[in-house]
Amino acid sequence: MARLAIRSVRLCPLVYALIAVFVYMVVEYYLADYLMVEAPNFMLEMQAQTNNLLDKSLLFFSVVVIAPIFEEVIFRGVAFYRL
């Protein structure tokens, strides 16, 4: 655990970052809608495969929570330590 160099997170910068991400997502959504940009086929296929709320929440959880944590543990905890 000490090799991962995990520090505590201050709340104020985290809230600012979350607000900035939310504003960016809203602007991007409306800009893509205004410019009539269509989603790629693989995204439409993924959306068609997730029928219910459980599938969508598990997909969101695995992409947003599990994958970044696993990546940090592998690269920061194992790869950097070996280098």
**Higher confidence at residue 3 or residue 60?**
60
Say what the pLDDT of residue 1 is: 55
- What integer best gives the mean pLDDT of the chain? 85
Q: What is the mean pLDDT of residues 76-80?
A: 74
Tell me whether residue 41 is exposed, middle or buried, using C-beta atoms within 10 angstroms of its C-beta: 0 to 12, 13 to 18, 19 or more.
exposed
Q: Residue type for 24, please?
A: Y
Are the C-beta atoms of residues 1 and 70 closer than 8 Å to each other? no
Q: Residue type for 45, please?
A: E
Say what the pLDDT of residue 20 is: 96
Output phi, psi for 5, to 5 deg. Answer: 55, 50
Say what the pLDDT of residue 71 is: 87
Q: What six digits make up the tokens of 68?
A: 């970044």
Separation CA 78–CA 72 (nearest Å): 9
pLDDT in tens, 26-51: 999 999 889 988 888 998 898 888 88
Say what the pLDDT of residue 69 is: 87
Model confidence band, residue 25 (pLDDT cutoffs 50, 70, 90)? very high
